[in-house]
Amino acid sequence: MEVRLIGFEGIAEYMRVSIGFWVRERIDPAALPELIVHSCPPIWKDYDEVEEERPSSYPGRFEVKDWLVFGAIESGRLIGGAVVALRPVDYELSPGAQEAAVLVDIRVDAEFRGQRVGHALLAACISAAKEAGCRELWVETQDTNVPACRFYLNEGFELASVTLNAYEGFSDEAKVVLRMSLP
């Protein structure tokens, strides 16, 4: 597998990699950073179902000149991708510091999840952020995305904040914001 820059020119192919997943458990937000998980009725979650959340909408919503789009390629096939914003000025998760980067999107084809594709994509984002002089990497997820919370905590992110009832239309979901210092 190879991870390389594909840019927003490759966003149509990037969007063919589903970010959807089944939610069957949730994290107790009050217990974070400890991961206390509870079963819940299964629901399908796909961030791309909300048009303004799709990576293809980013260039129309944000100043993306310092945003990078990476693709994970296996045997000529795009199997995952990540979007990292270097020193974003207009992305709401940005802590405002010019030394920060934000992991805006990361996705791995369901067939390849659990095979360290996400790790390789994150490593590329971290490397690019360090090269750009960023001192921190931030990411947002939800209490409904237990695999993502586990992934980020295992990769060295620390809990920055939890906001209950953070999303209009998804009033019971908590926003989980994590940060990583980049030495």
Say what percent of the chain tops pLDDT 90: 78
- pTM beyond 0.75: the answer is yes
Phi-psi region for residue 180, left (φ > 0), alpha (ψ -120 to 50) or beta? Answer: beta
Block means of pLDDT (10 residues each) for the chain, 183 residues, are: 96 96 94 91 93 93 94 97 89 68 96 96 98 94 95 95 81 89 91
The model's pLDDT over 102-133, given as tens digits with 9 standing for 90+, comes to 999 999 999 999 999 999 999 999 999 999 99
Which CATH number do you get for residue 151?
A: 3.40.630.30
Rg (CA), the chain: 16
3-class DSSP state for residue 16?
coil
pLDDT in the model for residue 159: 93
């820059």: which residue's tokens?
5
pLDDT in the model for residue 90: 72
pLDDT in the model for residue 166: 81
Name the residue range of residue 134's domain: 2-181
Residue 157 and residue 178 in contact, taking contact as beta carbons nearer than 8 Å: yes
What type of residue sits at position 146?
V
Q: Please give the Cα distance from 33 to 54 (Å, whole number).
A: 28
pLDDT in the model for residue 96: 57
pLDDT in the model for residue 172: 84
Report the domain count for the chain.
1
What is the 3 state secondary structure string of 113-146? CCCCHHHHHHHHHHHHHHHCCCCEEEEEEECCCH
Q: Please give the Cα distance from 108 to 152 (Å, whole number).
A: 14
Determine how many CB atoms are found less than 10 A away from the CB of residue 163.
Answer: 13
pLDDT in the model for residue 19: 96
Q: Please give the Cα distance from 82 to 108 (Å, whole number).
A: 9
pLDDT in the model for residue 148: 96
Determine how many CB atoms are found less than 10 A away from the CB of residue 68.
Answer: 21
Q: Please give the Cα distance from 173 to 114 (Å, whole number).
A: 25
pLDDT in the model for residue 104: 95
pLDDT in the model for residue 32: 86
